[in-house]
Structure 1
Amino acid sequence: MPVPGDALPRPLPIVDPSRIGFDQGWLFHEGDVVVPPATTHEETYIRAKAGNARGAAAIDHDDSDWSPVTLPHDWASFQPFVETANPSQGYRPRGIGWYRRTFRLDAADEGKYLELQFDGIATNATIWVNGSIVAHNWSGYNSIYIDITPFARFGDRTNVVAIRVDAEAMEGWWYEGAGLYRHAWLAKRAPVAIVTDGVHCDPRRTGDAWHVPVTVTARSIAAAPADVVALASLIDPAGRSIASVRSAPVTIAPLEQADLALSIPVPSPMLWSVEAPTLYTVVVTLERGGAVVDARHVPVGFRTIRFDPAQGLFVNDRPVKLKGVCLHLDHAGVGTAVPDALLAWRLERLKELGCNAIRCSHNAPATAFLDLCDRMGFLVMDENRNFNPAPDYMAQLEWLVRRDRNHASVILWSVFNEEPMQGTAAGVQMVRRMAAAVKRLDDSRPVTAAMNGSFFNPANVSTVVDVVGFNYYPGDYDKFHALNPDKPITSSEDTSAFMTRGAYATDAAAHVLSSMDDEAAGWGETHRSGWAKIATRPFVADGFVWTGFDYHGEPTPHAWPTIASFFGILDLCGFRKTAYDIHRAGWVDDAPVVGIAPHWTWPGREGQSIPVLVTSNADRIVLSLNGRIVGDAAVDRLMGNSFRVSYAPGILEAIAYRGGREVARAGHETAGAPAALRLTPARRVMTGDGEDVQPVTVDAIDARGRHVPNANLPVRFAVVGAAIIGVGNGDPNSHEPEKGDARSLFNGLAQVIVQADAAPRGTIVLRASAPGLTPASLRIDRIARAAGPQVAPAVALRTIDGWRRSPLLPARPDPALAPADGDNNSWAFVRSGTATPAEAAGGWQLYRARVAPVRAVAAHGGRIVFAGVAGRAELWVDGRKLADTGGPATGPIDVALPPGAGERTVLLIVRPEPGQPSGIVGPVEIRPLDAR
C-alpha cells in the first residue's frame, strides 16, 4: 500500500480580494414547485411586475422544511441507480430542483457594485433575487456573473436568492450531475471597479526580451464620469516586487466600461515548465482620485509554446512530448461536486503516473482545477462545450477564453469535440467564426478541434484550425502528415481500452473486463498499442488517453447493471489499474519503474499457467517466483514483457536492471484469508476549516498483515471530528449508495471521503468494521486554519413588503374596503419602510396586504411586528381587529397572530396627523412564537 504523506493542500490563490464565499446557508428542495395559474386580472397583473415572483421564487416563500446544504452540491449523487433512467447519465434520475438562500447586506454596502457569481450550475438555471428574475443560464459549465446592484436591499431588510435548476437538460453523454455543483461568490466593489475576468496579463517574449502586457477593463456605475488610473506590479515567487508601471488616465462614462493598457518589462524571468512550474503574480490596482478602489492578484508563468508540424510541441524551445489524459471531473461518492482538496489529490495521482498534460473533456473545468494545474505543472487543452457560433453559444466560448487566458498551464483552445459537421462547408464557416472570436481575446495560443474523421473531405475544419486534433484514426496519422506537412497534429483522444480494476480475466456475462490490457473498444487501441503509435511518431505532438479516471455514465461496452465507464487508467476512486504501470513505464523518464500484474493470490489454481505482464523503463527485467528465476528479458518499454508462470503460492517478483545494476523491483505475495481491516489516509494531517477533505483507503489484510486482493466484503464506517461525504469502491457494476456510512470492498479496496469539521486543533478518529474481522481505527491530526470568508446566512423571517394603499379618505373606511379587481391605479403600490408624505388636511388611509405565514406560524400562531407606524392606526387580520396604537406618535406594533392556514389578509387603517408623514415607516415581520 502507498505510504501516506503529511503534506497539506495549500490554499488556492486569492485572485479577486473583493469577493466573498457564498457556499454556506443554502436550502434545497428536490422536485419542482408548481405555481398555480393566476385566476384574476389583478393577480395576473401583479405577477407580470418586477419583484413579484410567485411560488418558490417569491421572497416570502415558505422554505422552512427545505434541506440545508453547503456548496458544492450535486443532488444527483444522492440518487439511487434506476434502470429506466438515462444510461449516459449513469442511470441516475436528475429532474428539477430549487435552491434558496437568505442574506443581509450592511447599510455601508449601498452604492457599491454587487455581483453574484456561480462557478457552475447543472444544467439550465433561472435565478431570482428578491422576487425579480436576474439571469437565465443555458449551460452547466460556464460561470454566471450577475449584477444584483439594482435589486439589493440593505440594513435590516434581507435579500433572497432563489434558483430553479432544470437538470433534465443534458449537454453531454456522460454523468453531468445536478445543481449548484461548483462554488458561489458575492463580490462587493466600489462604484468604479475592475470587471470580473477583466485583467489580461499573459506574459510574452519578443526576441530575447520578456514583457507582461496588461489590459485592465474597468466599469463604472457612478452617476458622473470617473477618471481612473491602473497600476501593475510584478511580484516574484519570493514575494519581491520586480517592476511597477502606471497607465495613462482614462475617463469612464456612467454605466460604461473602458480599457487601460500598460506593459511590464521583465529582463530575465525564471521560466514556467512542467518540471519547474514557477509562478509570478501580477498585482493590478485601480485608482480613482489618488485612492485604490479595486485590485486583482493574477498568478502568471513565463513560458513559450510552439507546435512544430514535424517535431511536435516545444515549451521554452525544448521538445516536450505530451503524455496526457482526458478527464471528466466526477469522483466516486461526490459526483461532480468535487472539493478543491480532492481535485488536488486526483492531480497528484496523475503526476505520479508521469502524466504531464490534461484535456478538459468536453467542457470548461473548475477554476480551482486550472489553478492547481498552474502550480503542479500540467499542460492543458481547454475545451469548449457547445459547437455553435450563435450569440448565446459564442458568449460561452468568449467567457471561457476571458476566464482562462492568464493560466500558464493552458496551451490549446479546443472549439469542439467530435462534431458531425466537421467535414462540411458549414462546419468550416462555424469554426472560422469561433476561432476568430478566440484570437480576438487571446492570440498567444493555437486553436484546435478534436476531429473523429473527415480529415480528407474537400471541406473540413482541419483547414481552419492551427493544430489538428485526431480522436483515434491512428492509421491516418502518416497519410495526413504527408498531405499536410505544415499542419501540426495532436492525438486529442486515443486508446479507449477497457479494464475492471483487480480483475484479470474477462467475464462478459458479469460485465467484467480483464486488466491485462487485451480489451479495447472497436474504434480504439489497448494502452500499449495506442501509446506506441504516438511515441514512435515525432510529428504527433501528444497522446491524450481516454481516460485518466473512470467516470460515472457512458457505460461502454456494457449497459445496465453497469453504471460507469471502464476506460480509466485509474478507477472511480483513483485506485490503480494495470494501465497505471503500463503508462509509468512509457511516460516516466527521470526515475526507474517496474510493475507486475496480476496479483499472486489464486487459491485453487495451483499448477495452472498464469499470464504475467511486467512493465518497466529499465534495460532488462528478471522475473522470479519464490527466489527461482522464471523469466528474463530485455525490456520492451512500449509493449511490456509477457510471461506465463505456473502458479504456486509465495512471492512473485520482478527486478529491473539498468546497466547491469538493479534499479527497481516490484512483487506480489500470496495472501491468506481476510483477518482484519486497514485504513490508509492520503495525509496524516487535515485542517479544521470545514473545507479540507481527503480520501481514505480501506482494505482487508490477512493474519500476517498482507493485502488481500480478492476480498469482497461489507464494511461500515464511523467518524468523529469529521463528516463522511462519500464512499466508493471502483466497481462499475455496483449499485450500493455512494452516500452514508457503508461500502463493500471490491477486489480488495474501498474508499471513504472525509471532510474535517470546522474546529480548532483536535483529532479525527475514523473507524471501519466488517463482520468477523478485526476492526481498524485511524487517527488524523486536525490543525487550526481559518476558512475563507463567507457571506453570513440570515434567518429567513416572513416579511410583508408590498402593500396597496388607498387614497386619502374623508372618513374612517370600512375594513372590507378594497380596490376592485383590475383597478391597479387608484390604490398605490407601496413598500414597507416608506413613509407617506405629509398631507395638509386630515383624513384616513387604508393599507392592505396578503401574506402566507410559514407552516409553524400557520399551525401554532406567532407574532406580527411593525417596527414603526406613524399616525393613529388600527391593525386588522382576517377581518378581526388585533391592535390600536391609541395615539399619533410613531411607534411599533407587536401583537399575537392567531393560527390560520393559507393567505392572511392584513389591514392597517391609519389616520395621519395633518402636516406629518404617516404610514408604515419600518419593516413588517411575522415571527414564530419562539423568535425574539
Structure 2
Amino acid sequence: MNKFIAFVQTLVYSVIAITTFGQDSRAVLFDADWRFKKDSLTGLENPTYKDDRWRNLNLPHDWSIEDLPGQLAGQVMGPFTKASVGKAATGYTEGGVGWYRKTFTLDKSYQGKQTYITFDGVYMDADVWINGHHLGNHPYGYTAFSYNLTDFLQPTDQPNVIAVRAKNLGKNSRWYAGAGIYRHVWLMAVNPVHTAINGTFVTTPSITPGAAQVLVESSVENMTAQPKTVEVRVDVLNPSGQVVASQKQSVMVATMSTRSSTQQLTVKMPVLWTLEKPILYSARVTLLSEGKMLDQTRTPFGIRSLEFNGQKGFLLNGNVVKIKGGCIHHDNGPLGAVALDRAEERKIELLKKAGYNAIRLSHNPSSSALLNACDRLGMLVVTDAFDMWEKEKLGVSNGYHRFFKEWWKKDIDAIMLRDRNHPSIIIWGIGNEIWEAADTSGHRIAKQLADEVRRLDPTRAVTEAMLYLPQQIKYKWEAFGPHLANLDVDGYNYFIGGPYDPMQRDSATTHRYETEHAQHPNKLYMSTESYPSAALENWNAAEKYSYVIGGFSWTAMDYIGEANIGGPSLVAQATKIPKGLMSLVFFFKPESWPVFNAHCGDLDLIGNRKAASYYQNVVWRNSPIELLVHRPIPEGMKEARSPWGFPDELKSWSWSGQEGKPMQVSVYTRAKRVRLELNGKTIAEQTVPEGSITATFDIPYQSGTLTAHGFDGEKEVGTSSLSTTGKPVAIRLVADRTTIKADQQDLSYVQVELVDQAGQVVPWDNDTEITYQLTGNASLAGVGNGSPVDLSSFQQAHKKVYEGRGLVILRASGQKGVATLTATARGMKAAKIAITTR
C-alpha cells in the first residue's frame, strides 16, 4: 500500500508545478519602465536630471549586443567592432559606461516598511543611487546584491529616482560578459521584523523510504527600537500546496539585531528530487507576534541526499550517478547576456534533451533563473565562483582580481546565501585555472574560500578546476598539494587524454587519477574541462574507477567570445604544425575576425546539435549509433583542428557537385561491426577497432539514402540514416510554444527552417536571407543562426540561415492578444505563425 501511495504521489507531483521565485517570495519584479543611455558623464544620478530623451526599455538589458553606429565595411558589423578592447576574447563587442534611471512612486502600503532593492547581476563595477544618495558600489558583475532604500525614500505618493551606472571598461574578461543590468531587479517591502533576505536555509539531513527529516534555519531580523518575541512557524508544503509537516518556535530578537531559529520537521512518505522526477517542496516560514502575522516567505527545496565517497563515488539518493556534463558560459546567443527566465530554461531543456545530466557554470555564478530551471528540470550543477583570484590572468588587466582582496568574502557569501537551497547544486567550485594555485598565496586563498563555503553550507562538496598554466611550469606537481588538500573533489582541466598540451607539466598527468587516488583514497576526481577528442578516454576512466565521477566537456553550447578556439582551418597538405603547440596557436591568436563565437560547442549558438554532441551520446551509451559525413576538403588541403574542435562533420548526405568523389563517412558506435548501405545496397563493412567507437569509410558520393547498421555478432544493435534533400522551396516556422504569458518577460523561440518539396531541412543552404514581419502583441527580441562568422545584427528583422536553419525570438509586449510572424525569402514559399499572449 505504501508503494502504491508513493506511486500516486509521484504521478500527481510530476504534473503540478510549484511556484519558484527568482530571489525572494516577497519581492516583486522591478524590471519595467527604465530609461537608458550610454554616457561616461558624471552627475546623471541627480534626481532632477532631465532624462526624457533617454531610451525607454524593460530589464534585463545588455547594451553590448546592440547595433553599433557607423557600419564601416570590414570594421564594424552589427554589434561587433574590430576596435574592441577585448578583441577575439570578448567576441569583438564594445564596452563603455551605461546609465540606467527609473522614476517610481510608492503607495501607502510601503509606509512603515523596510524597502529593499535587489540586483541579480550588473556587469560590472556598478554604482547605485536613490534620490541622489549613493547606496554603494558593487564590482563583481556576476553576484547578486541588495540595498535598503528605506531611509532615503520620498514620502509615499511622491516620486523617487533610482540611478545605476555600470562600467565595462578595458579588458576585464576572457569571454563575452555582456554589459549593464542584464539580470532581473526586484523590489521588496517588509515589516521591520522579518526574515532576512536569503535568511532561510533548508537541508534534509536524514532520508528513509518512510520519512525525511527537514531542517529549516531561519534568520529573523528586528529593525525596531524594542526587543521582540516572535513565533516562528515553519510549514513544509508539497508541490500541490498541501501542508505535510508543521512546527513552531518562539524566539526573542534584540533590537536592531538578527536571531536564528532552527527547527526540524518530519515529512512522511517523501517523494525525492531526482534527475528523472525533480519534485520540489517548499518551506513556508511565517513570523507572528501576538497573533498577528509580521512576515512570510516561501523557499523551494528538494528532498534528496548527496554522498561523496572515495570508494563508492558520487551518490544521489543512495544511487551512484556518473556525471555526463558540459561547461556553459552565461550568454544566450542572440539575446547576449540577457537572462530572461525562458531563455535560461530553454538552455537547460536543450542540454537535457542532448543527453547531459549536469552543467558546470563557467566561470562565474549564474542567474537565479538558470538555477530555478535546473531545479525544475532535473539538471545537476557544479558552480564556479571566480576565474581569477589576486593575480591577473592572460592580460585581463581590468579584471576582478583588482577587487578580490576586499570583496572575495562578500561575493562568496552572496553566492552561498542566494543559491544554497537549490537541490540541483551538488558541488561548489571556488576557482578556475587559478594563476597562483601552486604558490603560498594560492594555498592560503584556497583554504579561506573552502572554509567559508563549508561554514555556510557543510552539506555539499568543494572543488576547483586545476591546470598547469604557463605561469606554473616552474613548479612540480607536489607544489599543488597544500592547495588540493582543501578540496573534496579534485577537478582537472585537460589532464586526461586529448592532444598533448604544453600547459601540461609532464606525461604523468595522464595518470593523475590513479596516482592521486593512491595517495588520497577518500577523495573523488572529475574532469572539469575536457577536449571533445578526449570524451571516450575520460568516460572510460569514469566507468572503470568508482572514484572518477565523470566530467564536463568544453563546451556544451557555443558562446560569444574566445572566438574560434574550436573552429577548423584549412591549410596546405605540406604544412607542418607542431602538435605540442596546437593549444597555444588556437587559443592565443589575437585576431579571428569575422569569427565572433567560440565555435567549440556541442550545440551551436541557437541550440542545434553539432557533430560532437552525437559522438558524445555514443560515448555515454545514450545512443547506439550515429552517422556523420565530413565536409569536403579541397584538393591539396587538409583540416587543421584545434584541440577544442571536432572534425567538421554534418548530419547530411546532400553534397551536390561531389558526385563520384570520395566522402569521408564516420560511424560512431559501440557495436563491434558496421555495415554501410547506399540506396538499399551494401557498399562497405568494417570491424570497429578495439578500444575505439569510430569506424571511418571513404564512400563515393551518390545521392539517395545512406544507412549505417551496427552489429554485435549477428544481432543488429542500431541503425542511423541520412537522405539527400532537394532544393529549398519553402520556409517552415516551428515555435517551441505558441502560447506565452503577456508579461513582457516571456519568450517564444521560433525555429526557422528551409525545406525541400518533401519537407526535409536543406542543410547546405547558408545563403538564403529571410525577412521577418511581426504584427500584434510581441516584439522581436533577437534573430540568429549557428554561423560563427555572421556578424550581422541580432536585432534587425532579416538574417541569413546557416545550414538551412535560423531562429527568431519573440518577447511578449505586456498585452493579451495574438502576435503574427511572417517569414519571406526570394523564391521560397512564405510561412506564417501565430503566437498567443495571455
TM-score, normalization by structure 1: 0.74
* 1:540 paired residue number: 548
Q: Give a deviation string over 1:17-63, Cα, whole Å, max 9, x none.
A: 321110001000012124xxxxxxxxxxxxxxxxxxxx210010010
Q: In structure 2, how many angstroms separate the alpha carbons of the residues matched to 1:365 and 1:204?
A: 26
Q: Does 1:569 find its partner at 2:602? A: yes
Instruction: Describe the SS at the equivalent of 1:186.
Output: strand
Match of 1:906 in 2: none
Q: Quick one: which amino acid aligns to residue 416 of structure 1?
A: G
Change in 2 beyond 3 A, CA 1:618/1:755: farther
CA gap of 1:617–1:189, structure 2 versus 1, over 3 A, is farther
Structure-2 residue corresponding to 1:708: 762
Q: Does 1:689 align with 2:688?
A: no
Alpha-carbon distance change, 229 to 170 in structure 1, aligned in 2, over 3 angstroms: farther
Structure 2 residue 215 is matched with structure 1 residue 213: yes
Alignment partner of 2:523 out of 463, 473, 487: 487
- CA shift in 2, pair 1:649/1:132, >3 Å: same
1:560: which partner in 2? 593
Q: What code does the residue aligned with 2:242 have? A: R
For residues 773 and 17 of structure 2, the distance between their equivalents in structure 1, rounded to whole angstroms, comes to 24
* 1:772-820 residue CA offsets vs partner (Å, 9 max, x unmatched): 222222233x152xxxxxxxxxxxxxxxxxxxxxxxxxxxxxxxxxxxx
| DSSP 3-state at the match of 2:593 | coil
Give, as a single letter, the amino acid of the residue that structure 2 aligns with 1:65.
R
Q: CA deviation at 1:115?
A: 0.0
Whichever residue aligns with residue 363 of structure 1, its letter is N
After alignment, is 672-681 or 641-650 more displaced? 672-681
- 1:623 offset after TM fit, Å? 2.7
Alpha-carbon shift at residue 251 of structure 1 (Å): 2.2
Report what 2:235 is aligned to: 233
Gap change, CA 1:256 and 1:545, over 3 Å in 2: same
2:9 corresponding residue in structure 1: none
List alignment gaps of at least 5 residues for structure 1. Answer: 1-6, 35-54, 498-524, 785-932
Alignment correspondent of 2:465: 450
Which of 773, 786, 790 pairs up with 1:730? Answer: 786
Once the two structures are superposed, residues 171-200 of structure 1 have per-residue CA deviations (whole angstroms, 9 ceiling, x without a partner) of: 531100000000000001011111110001
Which residue does the alignment assign to 2:697? 643
Alpha-carbon shift at residue 648 of structure 1 (Å):
0.3
Distance 1:488 1:379 in 2: 17
Matched, 1:671 2:704: no
Answering whether residue 52 of structure 2 is matched by residue 67 of structure 1, we say no
Tell me which residue corresponds to 2:124: 123
Report the AA paired with residue 552 of structure 2.
Answer: F
| Structure 2 Cα separation of the partners of residues 732 and 768 of structure 1 | 23
Distance 1:205 1:391, change over 3 A: farther
1:753 is aligned to 2:805: no
Question: 1:651-690 deviations in whole A, cap 9, x for unaligned?
Answer: 1123456896767543222123322222222233333333
In structure 2, the CA distance between the partners of 1:398 and 1:264, relative to structure 1 (3 Å rule), is same
2:491 maps to 1:469: yes
Question: Which residue of structure 1 aligns with residue 773 of structure 2?
Answer: 718
Q: CA deviation at 1:307?
A: 2.1
**1:771 maps to what in 2?**
826
Q: One-letter code of the match for 1:32?
A: S
Tell me if the contact between 1:9 and 1:344 (Cα under 8 Å) persists in the aligned partners: no
CA separation of 1:669 and 1:238: change in aligned 2, threshold 3 A: same
Shift of 1:758: 2.5
Aligned-partner SS, 1:753: strand
Q: Work out the percentage of aligned pairs sharing the same amino acid.
A: 31
Counterparts of 1:618 and 1:356, CA distance in 2? 24
The alignment partner of 1:57 has SS state of coil
Partners of 1:619 and 1:634 within 8 A in 2 = yes
State the one-letter code of the partner of 2:520: N
Pairing 1:253–2:254 present: yes
Q: CA 1:326 to 1:157, structure 2 compared with 1: closer, same or farther past 3 Å?
A: same
Separation in structure 2 between the aligned mates of residue 607 and residue 286 of structure 1, nearest angstrom = 78
Aligned positions of 1:30-49 closer than 5 A: 30-34=38-42
Q: Kindly state the Cα deviation for residue 225 of structure 1 after the two structures are TM-superposed.
A: 1.8
- The amino acid that maps onto 2:291 is G
**Correspondence for 1:841:** none
- 1:550 maps to 2:575: no
- For 1:914, the equivalent position in structure 2 comes to none
State whether residues 360 and 383 of structure 2, in contact with CA within 8 Å, keep that contact through their aligned partners in structure 1.
yes
CA distance in 2, matches of 1:163, 1:763: 35
Output the CA distance in 2 between the equivalents of 1:219 and 1:9. 31
- Matched residue, 2:655: 602
CA distance in 2, matches of 1:739, 1:307: 46
Partner amino acid, structure 2, of 1:258? R
Q: CA deviation at 1:455?
A: 4.2
TM-score between the two structures when normalised by the length of structure 2: 0.82
1: distance between equivalents of 2:673 and 2:48? Answer: 74
1:427 pairs with 2:442: yes
Moved more, 594-603 or 427-436: 594-603
Residue of structure 2 equivalent to 1:400: 415
Decide whether aligned partners of structure 1 residues 279 and 588 sit closer, same or farther in structure 2, where only a CA change above 3 A counts. Answer: farther
CA distance in 1, matches of 2:794, 2:692: 37
* 1:127-159 deviation line (CA, Å, top 9, x unaligned): 000010012101000111100000011233100
Q: For residue 169 of structure 1, report the CA deviation from its aligned partner.
A: 5.8
Structure 2: segments with no counterpart, 5+ residues: 1-14, 68-78, 391-403, 469-475, 497-509, 566-585, 630-649
* Counterpart-to-counterpart distance in 1, 2:718 and 2:231: 60
Letter paired with 2:797: D
**Could you say what secondary structure the match of 1:747 adopts?**
coil
User: Cα RMSD between the aligned structures?
Assistant: 2.4
Identify the residue that residue 191 of structure 1 maps to in structure 2: 192
Q: Secondary structure at the match of 2:826?
A: coil
Q: Which residue of 1 aligns with 2:582?
A: none
Q: In 2, are the aligned partners of 1:596 and 1:613 still within 8 Å (CA)? A: yes
**Shift in CA distance, 30/426, structure 1 to aligned 2, threshold 3 Å:** same
User: Alignment partner of 1:265: what SS?
Assistant: strand
1:808 alignment partner in structure 2: none
Change in Cα spacing, 1:659 to 1:306, as seen in structure 2 (3 Å) is: farther
Tell me if the contact between 2:236 and 2:246 (Cα under 8 Å) persists in the aligned partners: yes
2:613 to 566, 580, 601: 580
Question: What residue is the counterpart of 1:243 in the other structure?
Answer: 245
Q: What residue in structure 2 maps to residue 521 of structure 1?
A: none
Q: CA deviation at 1:217?
A: 0.7
Residue of structure 2 in register with 1:898 after alignment = none
Tell me the distance in 2 between the aligned counterparts of 1:416 and 1:236: 36
Q: Shift of the alpha carbon at 1:426? A: 2.0
Residues 360/748 of structure 1: CA separation in 2 closer, same or farther (3 Å cut): same
The residue type equivalent to 1:473 in the other structure is F
Q: Work out the CA distance in 1 between the residues paired with 2:29 and 2:430.
A: 31
